[in-house]
Structure 1
Amino acid sequence: MNSYDAWAHPRVAAQVLRSRRDGHSEVALRVESLQGAQQVLRLEQAIYALPGVRGVNVDTAARRVRVVWDMQRTTLPSLLKAFASMRCAAQPLRSDSIDDTRTREAHDMLKRMLVAGMFAMQVMTFAFVIYIGVVDFVDFTTRGLFRWLSLMASLPVVFYSTNPFTTGALRELRQRRLGINLPVALAVWLVFVASTYNTIRGTGEIYFDSVTMFVFLLLAGRYVELRARHRSSALGDAVIDSTPLLAERRRADGTLETVPAIELLPGDQVHVSEGSTVPADGVLESAGVQVDEALLTGESTPVMRQRGEHLAAGSVLLTGPAQLRVEHGGEATAVARIGALGARARLAREMSLQRGDADLRRFVARVLILTVVTAIGWWLVDPSKAFASAVAVLVIACPCAFALTAPAALTRALGVLAQRGVLVADSAALAVLARADLAVLDKTGTLTVPHLDREDIEVVREGDTDTVLSMAAALARESSHPVAQAVAHAAAGLALLRASDVFVTPGGGITGRIDGHEWRLGHIGFALRLDDYSPDDRLWLADDMGAVAAFTLRERPRNDARATLDTLHSQGLDIQIASGDTATRVEAVARMLDIESWHAAQTPESKLALLQEARARGRVTLAVGDGTNDVPVLAGADVSAALATGTEVAQAQADLLLLHGHLHGLVEARAIARQVQHVIAQGRRWSLGYNLCAVPFAALGLVPPWLAAIGMSLSSLAVVVNAWRIGRPHEATPVLRA
Structure 2
Amino acid sequence: MACFHCNEPIPPDCSLVARVGGVARPVCCIGCRAAAEWIEGLGLGDYYSLRSEPAVRGESDRPDFGAWDRPQLARLHVRRRGDGRAEAVVLVEGLRCAACAWLIEHALGRLPGVHEVGVNAPARRVRLLFDPERTRLSTLLEAMARLGYVPQPLDAEALDSLRQRETRDALKRLVVAGLGAMQAMMYAVALYAGAFDGIDPAVRDFFRWVGFVVATPVVLYSARPFFAGALREWRSRRLSMDTPVAIAIGLIYVASLVETLRGGHEIYFDSVTMFVFFLLTGRYVEMRARHRAGDVVDALARLQPTLAERRGADGYEQVGVHELEPGDVVRVAAGASVPADGVLVGPACRVDESLLSGESTPRRHAPGDALIAGSLVLDGPVEVRVQRVGAETVLSGIVQMVTRAATRKPRLARMADVRATHFVIRVLTLTVLTALGWTLVRPEQAFAAALAVLVVSCPCAFALAVPSALTRALAVLARRGVLVMDADALEALAGADCVVFDKTGTLSLPHVDPAAVEVLRGSRREALALAAALEQGNTHPLAAAVRAAAGDAPLPEAVDLAQVAGAGVEGSIDGRRLRLGRADFAGGDGGDALLLADADGPIARFPVGERPRPGTADLIARLQAEGMRVEILSGDAPARVAAMAATLGIRDWQAAATPADKLARVAALREGGARVVVVGDGINDAPVLAAADVAVALGSGTALAQAVSGLLLTGERLDGVLEARQLGRRMLAVLRQNLNWALGYNLSVVPLAAFGFVPPWLAALGMSASSVVVIMNSLRIDLPAAPAGEAGATREALA
- TM value normalised by structure 2: 0.73
Distance 2:492 2:355 in 1: 28
SS of aligned partner of 2:695: strand
SS of aligned partner of 2:656: coil
Question: 427, 433, 438: which is aligned to 1:378?
Answer: 438
Distance 1:568 1:412 in 2: 24
Matches within 5 A, 1:320-339: 320-339=380-399
CA apart distance, 1:466: 5.6
SS of aligned partner of 2:558: coil
Matches within 5 A, 1:483-522: 483-492=542-551, 493=553, 495-496=555-556, 498=558, 500=560, 502-505=562-565, 508-510=566-568, 512=570, 514=572
SS of aligned partner of 1:319: coil
Give the structure 1 partner of residue 177 of structure 2.
Answer: 116
Flag the 1:202–1:407 CA change in 2: closer, same or farther, 3 A: same
Q: Which amino acid aligns with 1:122?
A: Q
Flag the 1:603–1:312 CA change in 2: closer, same or farther, 3 A: same
Question: 433, 444, 465: which is aligned to 2:493?
Answer: 433
Give the structure 1 partner of residue 120 of structure 2.
Answer: none
CA apart distance, 1:702: 2.6
CA apart distance, 1:95: 6.9
CA apart distance, 1:419: 2.5
Matches within 5 A, 1:260-339: 260-339=320-399
Matches within 5 A, 1:545-584: 550-584=605-639
Residue segments in structure 2 that go unaligned for 5+ positions in a row: 1-72, 74-153, 794-799
Structure 1 contact 413–673 (Cα < 8 Å) conserved: yes
Structure 2 contact 726–785 (Cα < 8 Å) conserved: no
Distance 1:544 1:696 in 2: 90
Matched, 1:213 2:274: yes
Matched, 1:104 2:131: no
Matched, 1:248 2:303: no
Flag the 1:499–1:437 CA change in 2: closer, same or farther, 3 A: farther
Flag the 1:367–1:585 CA change in 2: closer, same or farther, 3 A: same
SS of aligned partner of 2:304: coil
Question: 707, 722, 726: which is aligned to 2:762?
Answer: 707
Question: 225, 230, 246: which is aligned to 1:164?
Answer: 225
Give the structure 1 partner of residue 735 of structure 2.
Answer: 680
Structure 1 contact 456–553 (Cα < 8 Å) conserved: no
CA apart distance, 1:154: 1.2
Residues 75-133 of structure 1 show CA distances to partners (whole Å, capped at 9, x for unaligned) of: xxxxxxxxxxxxxxxxxx96754542211111111111111111111111222222224
SS of aligned partner of 1:283: strand
Give the structure 2 partner of residue 31 of structure 1.
Answer: none
Residues 556-594 of structure 1 show CA distances to partners (whole Å, capped at 9, x for unaligned) of: 112211222222222332212222222211121111111
CA apart distance, 1:545: 10
Identity %, equivalent residues: 48
Q: Which amino acid aligns with 2:511?
A: H
Matches within 5 A, 1:326-725: 326-348=386-408, 357-458=417-518, 469=528, 472-473=531-532, 476-477=535-536, 479-492=538-551, 493=553, 495-496=555-556, 498=558, 500=560, 502-505=562-565, 508-510=566-568, 512=570, 514=572, 537-539=592-594, 550-725=605-780
Q: Which amino acid aligns with 2:513?
A: D
Distance 2:357 2:476 in 1: 17
CA apart distance, 1:732: 6.8
SS of aligned partner of 1:285: strand
CA apart distance, 1:408: 1.9
SS of aligned partner of 2:499: strand
Question: 141, 144, 150: which is aligned to 2:211?
Answer: 150
Structure 1 contact 308–494 (Cα < 8 Å) conserved: no
SS of aligned partner of 1:414: helix
Distance 1:471 1:151 in 2: 84
Distance 1:708 1:663 in 2: 49
Structure 1 contact 263–330 (Cα < 8 Å) conserved: no
Flag the 1:292–1:676 CA change in 2: closer, same or farther, 3 A: closer
SS of aligned partner of 1:724: helix
SS of aligned partner of 1:554: strand
Q: Which amino acid aligns with 1:649?
A: L
Q: Which amino acid aligns with 1:180?
A: M
Structure 1 contact 229–411 (Cα < 8 Å) conserved: yes
The number of aligned residues is 639
Structure 2 contact 344–384 (Cα < 8 Å) conserved: yes
Q: Mean Cα displacement is larger for which, 312-321 or 671-680?
A: 312-321
Distance 1:510 1:478 in 2: 14
Flag the 1:412–1:436 CA change in 2: closer, same or farther, 3 A: same
Distance 1:686 1:208 in 2: 30
Q: Mean Cα displacement is larger for which, 153-162 or 700-709?
A: 700-709
Flag the 1:473–1:718 CA change in 2: closer, same or farther, 3 A: same
Distance 2:477 2:711 in 1: 10
Structure 1 contact 475–502 (Cα < 8 Å) conserved: no
Structure 2 contact 588–602 (Cα < 8 Å) conserved: no
Flag the 1:122–1:524 CA change in 2: closer, same or farther, 3 A: same
Q: Mean Cα displacement is larger for which, 391-400 or 609-618?
A: 609-618
CA apart distance, 1:624: 1.8
Distance 1:554 1:423 in 2: 31
Structure 2 contact 337–374 (Cα < 8 Å) conserved: yes
Q: Mean Cα displacement is larger for which, 490-499 or 656-665?
A: 490-499
Q: Which amino acid aligns with 2:389?
A: G
Residues 186-244 of structure 1 show CA distances to partners (whole Å, capped at 9, x for unaligned) of: 11112222222222222252222222111111111111111111122222233222233
Structure 2 contact 404–485 (Cα < 8 Å) conserved: yes
Residues 653-707 of structure 1 show CA distances to partners (whole Å, capped at 9, x for unaligned) of: 3322223322122222222211111111011111111111111122223322222
Flag the 1:304–1:397 CA change in 2: closer, same or farther, 3 A: closer
Q: Which amino acid aligns with 1:723?
A: S
Structure 1 contact 470–497 (Cα < 8 Å) conserved: no
Q: Mean Cα displacement is larger for which, 518-527 or 590-599?
A: 518-527
Flag the 1:273–1:112 CA change in 2: closer, same or farther, 3 A: closer
Q: Which amino acid aligns with 1:313?
A: A
CA apart distance, 1:718: 1.4
Flag the 1:273–1:383 CA change in 2: closer, same or farther, 3 A: closer
Residues 305-360 of structure 1 show CA distances to partners (whole Å, capped at 9, x for unaligned) of: 22322233333334344332222223322233333344444444799858953222
Structure 2 contact 503–634 (Cα < 8 Å) conserved: yes
Give the structure 1 partner of residue 92 of structure 2.
Answer: none
Residues 435-485 of structure 1 show CA distances to partners (whole Å, capped at 9, x for unaligned) of: 1212222222222222111344446x7676566656654554464221232
Distance 1:612 1:475 in 2: 41
Alignment RMSD: 3.3
Residue segments in structure 1 that go unaligned for 5+ positions in a row: 1-13, 15-92
Distance 2:543 2:768 in 1: 58
Q: Which amino acid aligns with 1:407?
A: P
Structure 1 contact 466–494 (Cα < 8 Å) conserved: no
Distance 1:593 1:208 in 2: 69
Flag the 1:180–1:454 CA change in 2: closer, same or farther, 3 A: same
- TM value normalised by structure 1: 0.78
Flag the 1:518–1:400 CA change in 2: closer, same or farther, 3 A: same
